[in-house]
Structures are given as C-alpha cells and as structure tokens.
Copies of this chain bind each other. A is one copy, B any other.
C-alpha cells in the first residue's frame, strides 16, 4: 500500500493499483447504499454527501479501503467503490435521451473498435456513448464528438470530466451534416434525427472495411436510413437490429422476469465501407 499515491482517472480499466487501494482526497469514488441510492462523488475535505438514508462526511471516507463500507448518520451501510463504466453513465447529468448499456455494448462490439481506435460520433448529447467509446479506445485512441447544441456539449464535457476520459475526446460544436473533418476513421457512430444526410460524409471519413453504426428511435428512420445507405453504394453488410433486455428476479424457488421492462429504446443499423470502383 502506498498511502500518498495519486490514482489518475486515465488508468481506469487498467490494473495499476493493488488490491488494498485506499481512498484519497480528490478521488472519484462511487458510494452505493442500495439499488437506487448510488452516488458518484469526488472526495473533498469538509464536504458532506446528503441522502435520505442519512449523510456521510467525505473526511470519513479518506483512508478507507476501496470495497469496504461506512455507516451513514442514520446507520445505513454505504459501500465505497471504484466507479466502473456503467456507474459513470448512471451518475451523469442528462441533456438528452441516452443510449442504454444493452445497445452501447452491441454497437461497440459490432463496430470492431478497440484500444487505439479513432472514432467519430454525432450527436454527443449527454455523452453516454462518448464515454463508452472513450473507455474502449483507451488512452491512445481518440473520439471526435460532434454536436450542434452548445449546451449539450457543455453538459457532456462536465460528464466526461467526471469519468476522467475528457482527454481522449475532442468535442466539436459543428453540424456533422456539413462534413466530417477527420479521415482514416475506424468507426462512425450516428445518433441523429436524420442520419441519411451524413452517409456521404461518413463514407469519406472511414477506412475501407470499417463500420458505420447508426442508432434511431423509429422504424421510419430505419427504413429511410437503410435505403440511403443502399443507394449510396459504398457499404455492404447492411443490417438492422433491435435489442431487448429482460431482468430477472431471483429468489429461492421463485424465479421470474421483472413485471415491467423497457420495451423500446432504439434500432441499430450496421454497415461497412467498401471501395466504390
């Protein structure tokens, strides 16, 4: 254990701290009381985390082992954790409808991106997909995030600061329908009302073989987008998907799915650039 060691957020996902890591000042920690009471905080002397289950003094957290718990002023157990990808996204301030983990995981798997990839995304919105992209491209990768709304970008920047991924992201207040500045891109992700207006630009930006991933909420947008991609002629493997996630309640002798579920988020359109000869 190295008490004074600074844990840079840049190495999240890595393995550079040992198992007895303790909380420091200015540390991003994730405080979990129960399924609904989950707080992403930055420890700061004299600060207090207030909850309806009692409060916690930040000072009491400093020096605690990651993975242990404290008691709130009202006696509730609160685990002190290192935040993971899904925790950042839950703790984010929201500007727009977000892309859910079930969809983000599939989008990223299909895209083929990984450590060191260079990707383009529009629009950024709340920055949830941006965070997942930044997470997976790692410190040597780069995410170029376009949005026409300055306020969205400002919320996204604040959110990305929390997750420690801001240095891998270039936020651009630009209408992607007017063009993509970058070339040689590994994947383009579009979450826009009219992705059909960006197909041409995505083609120009992408490396051959590489992927265009589009996320839209209505079936009409799926149709219009797929027809535009087909007409463009420079993409193959055009596929349209929908992901449904069911969560189960598991009690001894009484296993069943949750009564309510999210029945719809959006559709995913995949395609892949080839050379038009």
In the complex, A139 has a CB within 8 A of chain B: yes
Selecting from A49-57, A154-162, A205-213, the interface stretch reads A205-213
- Counting contact residues on chain A (CB < 8 A from B), the size range is 35 or more
Cα separation A110 to B85 with both chains bound (whole Å): 7
CA–CA, A129 and B259, complex, Å: 19
- A21, A109, A222, A265: most-surrounded residue (chain B CB, <10 A): A109
Which residues on the B side are within 8 Å of A237 (C-beta)? 32, 35
Instruction: Please state if A258 and B252 are interface contacts (CB–CB under 8 Å).
Output: no
Judge whether B241 and A247 touch: CB under 8 Å: yes
Q: How far is the CA of A111 from the CA of B240 in the complex (A)?
A: 26
Cross-interface CB contact of A245 among B12, B238, B243, cutoff 8 Å: B243
Q: Does A135 contact B (CB under 8 A)?
A: yes
Residue of B nearest to A184 (CB): B19
Tell whether, in the assembled complex, residue B183 and residue A256 are in contact, meaning their CB atoms are under 8 Å apart: no
User: Ordered nearest first, which 5 A-B pairs have the shortest CB separation?
Assistant: A67-B208, A261-B263, A13-B114, A115-B138, A84-B112
A: residues with CB less than 8 A from B are: 11-19, 21, 30, 32, 35, 65-69, 79, 81-86, 101-102, 104-118, 132, 135-141, 183-186, 207-211, 217-220, 222-223, 226-227, 236-248, 250, 252-265, 267, 272-275, 277
Chosen A-B contacts, 27 in total, with CB atoms closer than 8 Å, are: A13-B114, A13-B115, A13-B117, A14-B140, A15-B141, A15-B184, A18-B184, A30-B209, A35-B237, A66-B209, A69-B274, A79-B236, A82-B209, A86-B109, A86-B112, A101-B110, A105-B108, A115-B136, A138-B138, A220-B223, A222-B248, A222-B250, A241-B245, A243-B243, A258-B264, A259-B264, A260-B263
Beyond A14-B140, A86-B112, A115-B116, list 14 extra A-B contacts (CB 8 Å).
Answer: A11-B116, A15-B141, A65-B275, A66-B209, A67-B273, A68-B208, A68-B275, A81-B272, A84-B211, A220-B254, A244-B244, A259-B264, A260-B260, A260-B262
